[in-house]
Amino acid sequence: MVGGGIGAFIGTVHRMAAALDGHIELVCGAFSSDGGRSSLTGKELGIHPSRVYNSYAEMMKKEQELSADMRMDLVSIVTPNHLHFEPAKLALEYGFHVVCEKPMVFSMEEATILQKLVDQTGLIFAVTHTYTGYPMVKQARYMVSNGELGKIRKIIVDYPQGWLSTLLETTHNKQAAWRTDPTRSGIAGAVGDIGTHAANLAEYISGLRITELCADVTTFVEGRRLDDDASVLLRFENGAKGALLVSQISAGEENNLKIRVYGEKGGVEWSQMEPNTLTVRWQDKPVELYRAGGPGLCKQAMAHTRIPSGHPEGYIEAFANIYRNVALCIRARHHGVKPDEVYTDYPGIEDGVRGMEFIYRVIESGRSDQKWIKF
């Protein structure tokens, strides 16, 4: 692991998710740019001191020198956006697979370089667009791809949060500080932080690529340096239309990601706040509710459900589905076999690049008088 030192939120989430199914063991890390902090984190996590490193560069070099049965196979990068590229690039150059937080990198140029490296090396590169890991999201994707809803016409996805309704970044809140800092977050705030999740979810469930967008991007909180709200009209490759709303100043909201996809015959609705239910509405018959672990689900949904219906699964399990799938694909390579296609379903380098393109196009549209921007 690169990053994820003591007190880091997302690093802890990654460690729990990676460990959940018993396929991945945390064996080493450069947990902080501060050597003492990295050592203390390694001690708390029970990592042997010889494999707790002062820098990610040292980690890559020394791990590569170990025997194949000892060295790490996979690097998990859980640092702020501006610190994704260099360790990801180095990991690929040393021959290690990568799981990286999103947005994938700081700039479009960095994204292009990583994509070329992945293409050259053939290594696995996963991006933690977590919401694609939920079983009922996979059920929705299956129903769309299977033609059950008919031709898709309308896609609406919204992601309101309220935690940045005030100038929280001036109160020593580390999460708010880096996310609103253009030198660490990049050119976007809310658009990069949660807008990329919303766009990825829309493309994942629908199977359609966004081709054009028209954005209204706002910074509501006075003194903030990056956007905290955006409304985006979308056009998809099959002629479908849509809307994407993201906000971190919707006071009182928690993490209320919701998507609705409508076809000629019916529509599906899924909410992250009630993730074990998929609502299906039909034009000519009653509403149906599909439940995680329940009857009538596709094999993709069932393969990503761990416990019987009625026992809630959520964020950590969805995160874990990405890690498990990556682990099973790495293991298949080690044994020279082809992995089950059910487990090849995780967000990859293409999704990371699409996420970066989305950020740039939304900010470009928000700043432009020519509102419709090709994507």
* Tokens linked to 175: 């999460």
215-271 tens-digit pLDDT = 999 999 999 999 999 999 999 999 999 999 999 999 999 999 999 999 999 999 999
pLDDT exceeds cutoff 90 at 108 = yes
Position 370 scores a pLDDT of: 82
- How many Cα atoms occupy the beta-carbon half-sphere of 294 within 13 Å? 13
3-state secondary structure of 2: strand
Residues 232, 139, single domain; the answer is yes
Q: Taking a C-beta distance cutoff of 8 angstroms, is the pair 56, 47 a contact?
A: no
Backbone phi and psi for residue 263, each to the nearest 5 degrees, phi listed first: -115, -170
Domain closes at, from 123, 146, 178: 123
Tell whether the model's pLDDT for residue 149 goes beyond 90.
yes
200 in Cβ contact with 357 (< 8 Å): no
pLDDT at 366: 95
Q: From residue 286, how far is each of 184, 275, 283, 292 by CA, in Å?
A: 49, 21, 8, 20
Enter the tokens of residue 254. Answer: 């928690």
Cross-strand partners of 236 = 210
Tell me the residue range of the domain where 24 lies: 9-123
Same domain, 297 and 356: yes
- Check whether residue 53 and residue 153 sit in a common domain: no
Residue with tokens 């090396």: 121
Q: What is the mean pLDDT of residues 355-373?
A: 93
279-to-140, 142, 260, 266 alpha-carbon distances in Å: 9, 14, 9, 11
Enter the DSSP assignment of 226: S
Q: Are residues 82 and 143 in the same domain?
A: no
Same domain, 272 and 188: yes
Q: Are strands 97-100 and 210-218 parallel, antiparallel or unpaired?
A: unpaired
Instruction: Give the count of domains, the chain.
Output: 2
In terms of domains, do 253 and 236 share one?
yes
User: Which of 320, 326, 322 lies closest to 307 in space, CA to CA?
Assistant: 320
- Same structural domain for residues 163 and 112? no
- On whether both 187 and 304 belong to a single domain, the answer is yes
Q: How confident is the model over 73-105, as pLDDT tens digits?
A: 999 999 999 999 999 999 999 999 999 999 999
Which two three-digit tokens encode residue 172? 């020593």
Q: What pLDDT shows up at residue 7? A: 82
Q: What percent of the chain has pLDDT over 90?
A: 95
- Shared domain for 19 and 138, answered yes or no, is no
What single-letter DSSP state applies at residue 65? H
Residue 118 and residue 139 in one domain: no
Q: What is the CATH number of the domain that holds 18?
A: 3.40.50.720
**What is the tens place of the pLDDT at every residue in 29-66?**
999 988 899 999 999 999 999 999 999 999 999 999 99
Report, as an integer, the average pLDDT of 169-179.
95
- Sorted by sequence, the CB contacts under 8 Å of residue 287 that are 6+ apart come out as 279, 280, 281
Instruction: Report how far apart the first and last C-alpha atoms of the chain are (Å, whole number).
Output: 33
Going by C-beta distance under 8 Å and a sequence separation of 6 or more, which residues neighbour residue 358?
Answer: 191, 195, 196, 199, 210, 375
Domain assignment present for residue 23? The answer is yes
Q: Which of 100, 123, 146 is the last residue of a domain?
A: 123
Q: Look at residue 369 and tell me whether its pLDDT is greater than 90.
A: no
Distance from C-alpha of 96 to C-alpha of 28, rounded to nearest angstrom: 13
Among 123, 143, 167, the domain-final residue is 123
What integer pLDDT is reported at residue 34 of this predicted model?
Answer: 87
